[in-house]
Amino acid sequence: AATAFLTRMANERLRILEDVEKDIAVVLQCAGNIVLELSKDKHNASFLDRQLVQFQTSISRVENELGAQIRYLTQVATGQPHEGSTYSTRKDCQMSLNRAEYAKVKLGELGRTCEAMLEQQQQQQI
């Protein structure tokens, strides 16, 4: 029973990470759409607004889920009783945390860049 519960928990965490991966793809797609639309002589403001809202919603979900995953992994990694037997697991966990934090930072930078481009483009239209 305990093994089945742990398996369900692990599968749920993997499903959440797959959803995060899909959200990252949406973020990148929206950013590409925004840049492409801004490169046109005449752009569709309502399309840009929809893409920006979708971008912001997805980036927020990614940040929240990655933060939750990082908190969970931190709790799990620090709760182990035998440090010697968990070194490789802790190292893997730390590397995963580093990668997740890096992705979070890069997605934040991408979001700020897109927002700045949109603001600049909107100011040029005025």
Instruction: Summarize pLDDT for 56-98 with one digit per residue, the tens.
Output: 999 999 999 999 888 888 777 665 554 445 666 777 788 888 8
C-alpha span between 91 and 77 (Å, rounded): 9
Mean model confidence pLDDT for the chain: 84
> How many residues does this entry show for the chain?
126
Residue with tokens 């965490």: 13
Enter the CATH code of domain 1-80.
1.20.58
Range with lowest mean pLDDT among 30-34, 69-73, 109-113: 69-73
pLDDT at 25: 93
User: Which of the two residues, 5 and 46, has the higher pLDDT score?
Assistant: 46
- Residues in Cβ contact with 23 at an 8 Å cutoff, skipping those fewer than 6 apart: 58, 59, 61, 62, 65
Q: Mean pLDDT throughout 24-28?
A: 93
